[in-house]
Every structure is written in C-alpha cells, then in structure tokens.
A and B are shown apart, each in its own frame.
Chain A
C-alpha cells in the first residue's frame, strides 16, 4: 500500500499506512514512553503514558493503539502532553513502593528509566500503603504484588504466548491486582514456572528467585569443589547484560568470567546435550523398532514437562524418558566426574547457569537424585550470572577468550543449537540418520526445522523409513500439536517441544528486553557457533564416546537408565 503523509511535531512525513502513531514516531526517531506496550503482545493501552495530541480530537490519544491516517497532525511534545504524561507517571509512583535502591530491578527497571527521562521531581499524590504478601512458594519465581503497576504484560504472556493462563487481574478499581486465581500462590496453581511473565515485567513485581548468595557461599567454602555448567543459550545472550548488541557470541569470555568468579571447573551443558542426543536418538529407534509409544516428544525443557504433567497427563507416555541435559550433567558430575577425579560426591557442588527459571524447579524435583543427593545444587539464570559478574566488577569487555575444562566441557555444534527452537530435532536427525543408514550426511543443515515459525515440520528418509518430525515452541503452539495427537491427527514420529518462544534463547531467565526480534538474532548466533565447531554431530563427541566406553558402556544401558533417564507424574 502507498505511504501516507502525516504531520509529526510540525514536520510532514510519509509513513506506511496501518501503523500506529507509536510506530510512526519511533521510525522518525521519537521514542515515546511506554509501559504496558510490548512489541510481541497485543495492544493493551492500559498505562496511558504514550498519549499524544491529535488535531481535531478532543482528548489525548494513546499512540500505541491509534493508527495513523492520512493528513493526521500529531504533536508529541506540547506542554499539554508533557503535563499529562508526567502526571500519569506521578500517579503510578504514588502507588508504587519507592524501594528502588533495594529492588532487584534497580538498574534495569523500565519505570525508573522513564521517570529519569521525564524528570518527575515531586510526587504530590499521597503514597499508598500496601499490604500484599510476597509469594516465595516456588523455587523459580518470586512475586511481589506491591510493586505491580497493572500493565498486564505478564498476564498477556501467560494467556496468549503460553496459553497457560494462571495469572489474572482480579477485582476492580484500586483493589485491582494481578495474581493467580483467588490470590493463591504460584505453587498452588498449575503454573509451569517458565518465567515468561518475569521476562516481560517492566518492574520488580515478578522475578527469578535470587540464588546468587548460595553460589557465593559455595565458592567461599574451601571444603567444596564447585563446578559450573553453562547452557547453550547463555553464550549468545549474556553479553547483552554488558551492553553488547544482541546475538553477540561470548563463549570464550563466558568461560573466563566463570573462572574469575572462582569455580573449580568450568564445564559445558553442551557436553550433556550431545549425550542427550545419543540416549534420545536410541530411545526413538528403540520405540520405532519395538512398537513403543509414538510420536515420541522431547523432554529437555522443564517448563514444558511441567505443562504436560498439569494439562496433558494422559500423553505422558509420549515423553522421552531422557533427563534434560542439565540433569544428565548433574548426575554424571557427581558420579563419573567424581570417580575420575578422585572426589566424593558430597564434596561437589554443581551450579548451572541456565536461560530458564523452570530449571530451578527441575533441579529440586525429588527424583533428580541419581547420584545419591540432589544432582544439581544451584541454578542461576543468565540474569543472575550477569549480576554476579557486575558485583565482582568484572569488566566483560576486557575478559580474554578461554576454553571449557575437560572432559565435561567438550561438545559439538549439534549441542550448541539445543538453545534454539528446532535445534534438538536437527541435532537428533544428524545422529539418527548416520546411526540408521550408516552413511555420512552430506548436508548437515536441516533448515526446515529452523526459524521462529510457531509450528514447523520436517521429513527425513532413514533407509527407506520416513520419519516425520514436528517442532513447536511456546506453549500455545505446543498445545496445537498436543491436540492433534489427542485427536489422532498427528502423523509425526518425533516431536520437539520447547516451552518458551524461540526455544531456550527466549527463556524466562534471559536478559530483560527480550523480544522476538532479539530471539531471532540469538538463534542466528547459535547456528554460527554450530558452523564454527570442528565437530557438528553429537555421536562424534570424543568425550561422550569415552564416557560410554569407560563408564556407561552402552546407550539405554543399565547405568544410563539409572543416571540419565527419569519418570514423570500427573499433576492434574
């Protein structure tokens, strides 16, 4: 369609039709303030701080929900707009506990940033005394409803991105609150702990449980041998916490940073991701050969697992029994690694750095104790690691590149792409193809499984047997596939599901400001990591081969079964 002319702050500009005033202004370099607006969500127009003046319209209009029309005369910088926006901000502050100095969002709070820009110097309104209690009921998330500004982004993510829908706005007027049903705690409702709510919260009303102090304590304990594993997705997002552009690959710096913090060994979840492919690939082949339950669905995403347990317990037999790479790592660190390095499991502390809040829950699942005690002791999100590094004054830009420790730090490109939607599928196909056909893949890139499309499909010919693969990311998309299975309409053999949009790179523990655009850049970076690796197929990982040779003996073997596989429970 043809561009239309609008007047923006006195200047005539041609813009695309059908866009909002907010979009038009931002294209012209005028960044209007927003709180409830999020580029990946529906327009809510609740907060009203993006209001502007439109000639001929009696009241101010919200720029986020008003589309431009030909000849529209918009003013964003009049005294009238300025006064109204400041007043609305003042009204929000009067209802917001002014605990900025001690808030977990100090430094990256959107409300605070807007307040700084607009120079609100005085709050005439009477401050409200709050009485909500905080919700510490889960290992993953903490809710602090006093800080909630009722923008509705969390509920929007919960209902429409994830289709879980446990967060609602309750009551009306000044009694309005956003919480689980009847003001219950998160542990008492069917929350999957994905943390997409926390990722989009502009303030400190819902955030990850902060476990950094537990890590400091472990690092300071001379009796403990503290090892750390890092998920694939963290290496392409952590740098954002230090001002790097999104999609920056920071694997080497990340390793250096973790060494600087004092970890005894810096290992890689990519190692156990490769291992997962071996176990899961063989499980798939076993199910195909022996009439097991198909389609088989991946099980590395703990939010996804919890979702199945709450909402589709009848489909649990479809889930692979493989533990997630995080948990395989934990079980091996306290058995295999302990043995080979002459340590006792009780003296090892396993710390994970994950893009995910649900991983904290997963680590604390009672069945995750194959080593005799909790396999993974402490889980940090990307954001928490960012805070620890800032606390130590580690200048990320100046860090040298370093290599992971052996043997649990050796990995292939197939493991790196676990962090992206479709990555587990692609990694599995590379291995399953070669195992079944005995041939070498000429083209390793299964591009049809890549990208941000919600539901993707691929078909692979395995020595005359067609394997149809389905991929979904974000639980709203996952639900579509599950409903197909329930209705008997699925012809998939193997399905990959990731709880969060984009896969782990879009997880609930990733840096604030994550959008689908940024997700796409992180995904691109992971495929770059894959391309740059000398080995790109999990079964070629020498450390994994050695592990089977010396310890596990064979995939799906007795020891594998005990350490690397698990079971699920209905939570409906």
Chain B
C-alpha cells in the first residue's frame, strides 16, 4: 500500500516557492487566526489538544499541555518564543518554512500566543540563516501593516508584539533555557529545570517556546479541524512530519511524510533508495543527536511510540543514509567532534566525557586503540548519557551508544590487539 500523501497537506512544499501574504490569504491563510480570535482561546486550544499535536523540535511534548501550563499561570506578562535555531546537522525543515511559507508560521505564532495569553514574542533564528531572517523581518512588518500582528489584531483587542532575534552561532542555544539566556544577553548556557520556561522563562516570566514546525502546524488544525488532522498519521502520532532526507540516497530533500510510514518506506519511496549498486549500511535518524541504526531496524514506523520502544529518536526528523562505502567510526567521530565543539563546557560528563570519547576514536581510527578502549568508551558513553546537565550531552551519546550496540564488531576490528599481527607481535 502506498502510504505517501497525494499532496502536501500542511506545508506546501511541492511548489517550492515563496508564498507571499496575498497568496497566503488566497489559500485560506489567516482564516484560522480569525476563527481562533472569534471562538476564543479555550475552544482553539481544545482543537489543538484533540489534534494531538506534539512538539516537532525533538522532545515531542504535547503542545496543548504546554499552552495549558501557561494559562494556569497567574502572571499577566507572558512571552512566546519561536525556536528557529535550527542547528541540528542534516536538518533543513525550519529554514524551508521560514523562507517559503513565513506567513503560515507567523499565523501559527499569533494563534499560539492568543491561546497562551502572550503579548510579546521573539523568533529566535540561527545566525547562519540570514535569508530566513530577512524574509521574516519583512514578513513581520507586512503582517503588522495589514493588521495580522501588532496592536489590536484583526480588531479583536488581542495584541502581539513580535520581534526577530538572531542567534550568534551556538548550537546549544537551540536548547530552550540556553536560548532564553541568549535573548537576555547572557551566555548561552542551559539553566536548571524546574522552573520550566512555562513557569519562569524569559526575564523570569512564563514563556511558551515552540519549534517552527510545531507552530506552523497550528493554523491548519484550527482551519480544518482536529479530525481532519487526525486523518493523517497514527493515533499515537497524528499528522505529518517534515523529513530532511540526505546522505547516500537517490533523491535528497525535504518531504512531508505522514506518521506511520516505516523508515524503509520513506527511504525507498521518497528517497528512491540507495545509490545504484550500493547497499545501505546504516541510517542516522534524528540528526547528529540521533541514533545510528542498522537496515533491519528500518522497518520501524515513524511514530513516537514505536520509535521510543526501539530506542530510535525521531528528533528533528533528519534521516541520513550511509551506504556500504562509509566507515561507521569516522561518521561517529564526525558527530562527536561537532558536539565537543558545541558543548558549553558547564558540566563534567559532557565536557570531559566527549573529550575522552573523541581521543579514543582518534586512537581507533589511527589503529592504535586496544580492546580495553572500547569498553572504556562504552563506560564513558553511559556517563555522558546518564549524567549530563542538558539534552546536548544526553543526545551526544546517542550515536556512540547506538553504534557501539549495533556495530561493536567494527570498533573491535579497529583495535590493535584484535589483529593477527598483534598476536604475532606478542608471541614473538
């Protein structure tokens, strides 16, 4: 059965061109905002709750629950932040939304702010996306001019002042508390939770932080209803997911994929399978912070429940395919170096653990490691995952853990004392 969508349902990827405000309105844009403003926050929130929308930044937290936490807060001044610090290697979905369908995002932010009772907001865009920043700045201005943003939106009495904030190049600022610190002008380092941003976020005020893709889902749900939304995906994971597919496949690119398709299907039907004459050796799911899985596990469906059972992290929705010409070890080290570079250095396991893990991979790749190094690496990986302060460290261990689980032989094969020549050396 072909589970592929007949047409893009939520994100309008196919035309691949910038949708300006007029086109957005012609396609039903801002009707959701008008509807939300008319029916009130509670009814709108119920729709989001019924739709089962979950955060698309990686943690998959139910969006409606998060908004409810803000609504339960007695503090009047509340913030909304759109997390557009898309730094996960191999992920390029948020950039597409910002550059191609910016008004769908702005509409989503406005509705979310209305539901959460937030009157001020920021879109935190990564420094490396100057084009997205330019388009968003212009779009915010235009939406304000036309009464979709700013004071007294669509005559409803609801106001939202939205500003664009540029990151400064740190991956860690995608972590919500580090992002908040960054906006406050402090070092982009994670804070202790609790308090959660919903309790004490930006400037210690209740703050709703959502990923770009999450927010861009909202107008469609309000416009077309929760039951329409639930016609895609699975009961556990309704709707669709933007998948950034890259690596050793025929077609790389961004695809809107309904939840429930298996990774094998996604790779073959959207990606056209492995490159001619090559076999898939491993697939990285969820970006650099995700796991490396062997082909046998590709029959797991793209679904939060099924994936969590098998230890797969959907994360940002990046899928990177490695064919049999690739070295697992150098792939893992590549990502490890990234994390070591991006670690804030605050906590010991992440800072020191990643440094030592990297040194072991250096030795393995240079053929200088011994088998003991592999078990030490496993032990360090556990400490990094078990004890790091924030998600960066915990996730940095994912590729190590999964590759050590599924490709341990490749690690051992690289060890000096696992080679016949070593045994000769020893006995000589």
The contact string, 1 if C-beta is below 8 Å from chain B, for chain A 468-483, is 0000000000000000
Write out the residue numbers on chain A whose beta carbons fall within 8 Å of the beta carbon of B353. 87, 91
Residue of A nearest to B373 (CB): A124
Residue of A nearest to B344 (CB): A172
The contact string, 1 if C-beta is below 8 Å from chain B, for chain A 100-126, is 000000000000000000000000111
> In the bound complex, do residue B356 and residue A91 qualify as a contact, i.e. CB atoms below 8 Å apart?
yes
A83-B382, A125-B356, A174-B340 are known contacts. Are A49 and B348 too (CB-CB below 8 A)? yes
Residue of A nearest to B386 (CB): A60
Write out the residue numbers on chain B whose beta carbons fall within 8 Å of the beta carbon of A176. 344-346, 351
Write out the residue numbers on chain A whose beta carbons fall within 8 Å of the beta carbon of B344. 172-173, 176
> In the bound complex, do residue A43 and residue B192 qualify as a contact, i.e. CB atoms below 8 Å apart?
yes
Cβ of A65 within 8 Å of any chain B Cβ, yes or no, is yes
Residue of A nearest to B381 (CB): A87
Which of B192, B372, B387 contacts A60 (CB under 8 A)?
B387
A124 to B372, CA, bound (A): 9
> In the bound complex, do residue B345 and residue A126 qualify as a contact, i.e. CB atoms below 8 Å apart?
no
User: Nearest Cβ in chain B — how far from A85, in angstroms?
Assistant: 8
User: Nearest Cβ in chain B — how far from A498, in angstroms?
Assistant: 30
User: Nearest Cβ in chain A — how far from B396, in angstroms?
Assistant: 11
User: Nearest Cβ in chain A — how far from B199, in angstroms?
Assistant: 14
Write out the residue numbers on chain A whose beta carbons fall within 8 Å of the beta carbon of B83. none
Cβ of A92 within 8 Å of any chain B Cβ, yes or no, is yes
A172-B345, A173-B342, A173-B343 are known contacts. Are A45 and B192 too (CB-CB below 8 A)? yes
> In the bound complex, do residue A84 and residue B348 qualify as a contact, i.e. CB atoms below 8 Å apart?
no
Write out the residue numbers on chain B whose beta carbons fall within 8 Å of the beta carbon of A59. 385-387, 394
User: Nearest Cβ in chain B — how far from A127, in angstroms?
Assistant: 10
Cβ of B232 within 8 Å of any chain A Cβ, yes or no, is no
B window 214-250: CB within 8 A of A: none
The contact string, 1 if C-beta is below 8 Å from chain A, for chain B 178-190, is 0000000001000
Residue of A nearest to B191 (CB): A45
Cβ of A537 within 8 Å of any chain B Cβ, yes or no, is no
Write out the residue numbers on chain A whose beta carbons fall within 8 Å of the beta carbon of B343. 172-174
Cβ of B341 within 8 Å of any chain A Cβ, yes or no, is yes
A87 to B387, CA, bound (A): 10
Cβ of B355 within 8 Å of any chain A Cβ, yes or no, is yes
Cβ of A47 within 8 Å of any chain B Cβ, yes or no, is yes
Residue of B nearest to A43 (CB): B192
Cβ of B19 within 8 Å of any chain A Cβ, yes or no, is no
Which of B187, B341, B372, B387 contacts A88 (CB under 8 A)?
B387
Write out the residue numbers on chain B whose beta carbons fall within 8 Å of the beta carbon of A126. 356, 359
Cβ of B379 within 8 Å of any chain A Cβ, yes or no, is yes
Cβ of B380 within 8 Å of any chain A Cβ, yes or no, is yes
User: Nearest Cβ in chain A — how far from B195, in angstroms?
Assistant: 12
Cβ of B60 within 8 Å of any chain A Cβ, yes or no, is no
A59 to B350, CA, bound (A): 14
Which of A45, A49, A87, A174 contacts B355 (CB under 8 A)?
A174
Cβ of B388 within 8 Å of any chain A Cβ, yes or no, is yes
> In the bound complex, do residue A48 and residue B340 qualify as a contact, i.e. CB atoms below 8 Å apart?
no
Write out the residue numbers on chain A whose beta carbons fall within 8 Å of the beta carbon of B388. 48
Residue of B nearest to A64 (CB): B192
A251 to B49, CA, bound (A): 71
Cβ of B383 within 8 Å of any chain A Cβ, yes or no, is yes
> In the bound complex, do residue B382 and residue A150 qualify as a contact, i.e. CB atoms below 8 Å apart?
no
A91-B352, A92-B352, A174-B355 are known contacts. Are A51 and B386 too (CB-CB below 8 A)? yes
Which of A80, A92, A124, A173 contacts B348 (CB under 8 A)?
A92
Cβ of B158 within 8 Å of any chain A Cβ, yes or no, is no
Residue of A nearest to B340 (CB): A173
User: Nearest Cβ in chain A — how far from B187, in angstroms?
Assistant: 8
User: Nearest Cβ in chain A — how far from B336, in angstroms?
Assistant: 12
> In the bound complex, do residue A171 and residue B383 qualify as a contact, i.e. CB atoms below 8 Å apart?
no
Residue of B nearest to A124 (CB): B376
Which of A65, A84, A87 contacts B192 (CB under 8 A)?
A65
A45 to B394, CA, bound (A): 15
Cβ of B389 within 8 Å of any chain A Cβ, yes or no, is yes
> In the bound complex, do residue A175 and residue B352 qualify as a contact, i.e. CB atoms below 8 Å apart?
no
Which of B187, B345, B351, B380 contacts A87 (CB under 8 A)?
B380
> Which of A80, A84, A95, A173 gathers the greatest number of chain B CB atoms within 10 Å?
A173
Residue of B nearest to A95 (CB): B352
Cβ of B13 within 8 Å of any chain A Cβ, yes or no, is no
> In the bound complex, do residue B340 and residue A88 qualify as a contact, i.e. CB atoms below 8 Å apart?
no
Write out the residue numbers on chain A whose beta carbons fall within 8 Å of the beta carbon of B356. 91, 94, 124-126
Residue of B nearest to A171 (CB): B345
> Which of B355, B383, B385, B388 gathers the greatest number of chain A CB atoms within 10 Å?
B383
Cβ of B349 within 8 Å of any chain A Cβ, yes or no, is yes
Cβ of A46 within 8 Å of any chain B Cβ, yes or no, is yes
Cβ of B347 within 8 Å of any chain A Cβ, yes or no, is yes
B window 328-382: CB within 8 A of A: 340-349, 351-356, 359, 372-373, 376, 379-380, 382
User: Nearest Cβ in chain A — how far from B182, in angstroms?
Assistant: 13
User: Nearest Cβ in chain A — how far from B375, in angstroms?
Assistant: 9
Write out the residue numbers on chain B whose beta carbons fall within 8 Å of the beta carbon of A49. 348
Write out the residue numbers on chain A whose beta carbons fall within 8 Å of the beta carbon of B387. 48, 51, 59-60, 62, 84, 88
A176 to B192, CA, bound (A): 19
A124 to B374, CA, bound (A): 11
Residue of A nearest to B380 (CB): A87
A87-B383, A88-B383 are known contacts. Are A125 and B345 too (CB-CB below 8 A)? no
User: Nearest Cβ in chain B — how far from A79, in angstroms?
Assistant: 11
> Which of A48, A94, A149 gathers the greatest number of chain B CB atoms within 10 Å?
A48
A125 to B352, CA, bound (A): 9
A65-B192, A126-B359 are known contacts. Are A150 and B383 too (CB-CB below 8 A)? no
A83 to B341, CA, bound (A): 26
> In the bound complex, do residue A47 and residue B348 qualify as a contact, i.e. CB atoms below 8 Å apart?
yes
Write out the residue numbers on chain A whose beta carbons fall within 8 Å of the beta carbon of B346. 46, 150, 169, 176
> Which of B172, B345, B379, B388 gathers the greatest number of chain A CB atoms within 10 Å?
B345
> Which of A43, A46, A171 gathers the greatest number of chain B CB atoms within 10 Å?
A46
A80 to B386, CA, bound (A): 9
> In the bound complex, do residue B355 and residue A48 qualify as a contact, i.e. CB atoms below 8 Å apart?
no
Write out the residue numbers on chain B whose beta carbons fall within 8 Å of the beta carbon of A171. 345
User: Nearest Cβ in chain A — how far from B310, in angstroms?
Assistant: 15
A46-B389, A65-B192, A173-B340 are known contacts. Are A91 and B380 too (CB-CB below 8 A)? yes
> In the bound complex, do residue B341 and residue A173 qualify as a contact, i.e. CB atoms below 8 Å apart?
yes
A465 to B117, CA, bound (A): 57
A226 to B359, CA, bound (A): 56
> In the bound complex, do residue A150 and residue B376 qualify as a contact, i.e. CB atoms below 8 Å apart?
no
> In the bound complex, do residue A175 and residue B383 qualify as a contact, i.e. CB atoms below 8 Å apart?
no
Which of A43, A45, A91, A174 contacts B345 (CB under 8 A)?
A174
The contact string, 1 if C-beta is below 8 Å from chain B, for chain A 65-100, is 100000000000000100110011001101100000
Write out the residue numbers on chain B whose beta carbons fall within 8 Å of the beta carbon of A88. 348-349, 383, 387
A window 155-192: CB within 8 A of B: 169, 171-176
Write out the residue numbers on chain B whose beta carbons fall within 8 Å of the beta carbon of A60. 386-387
User: Nearest Cβ in chain B — how far from A81, in angstroms?
Assistant: 9
Write out the residue numbers on chain B whose beta carbons fall within 8 Å of the beta carbon of A65. 192
A128 to B352, CA, bound (A): 10
> In the bound complex, do residue A47 and residue B386 qualify as a contact, i.e. CB atoms below 8 Å apart?
no
A84-B382, A173-B342, A174-B355 are known contacts. Are A48 and B394 too (CB-CB below 8 A)? no
User: Nearest Cβ in chain B — how far from A57, in angstroms?
Assistant: 11
A80 to B385, CA, bound (A): 12
- Could you pull out 12 A-B pairs where Cβ atoms are within 8 angstroms? A43-B192, A48-B389, A65-B192, A88-B383, A125-B352, A125-B376, A126-B359, A150-B345, A169-B187, A173-B341, A173-B351, A176-B345
4 closest residue pairs by CB, A with B: A176-B345, A91-B352, A87-B383, A125-B356
Question: A60-B387, A173-B342, A173-B345 are known contacts; what are 19 more A-B pairs with Cβ within 8 Å?
Answer: A47-B347, A48-B387, A59-B394, A60-B386, A62-B387, A80-B386, A84-B383, A87-B353, A91-B349, A94-B352, A124-B372, A124-B376, A171-B345, A172-B343, A172-B345, A173-B340, A173-B351, A174-B343, A176-B345
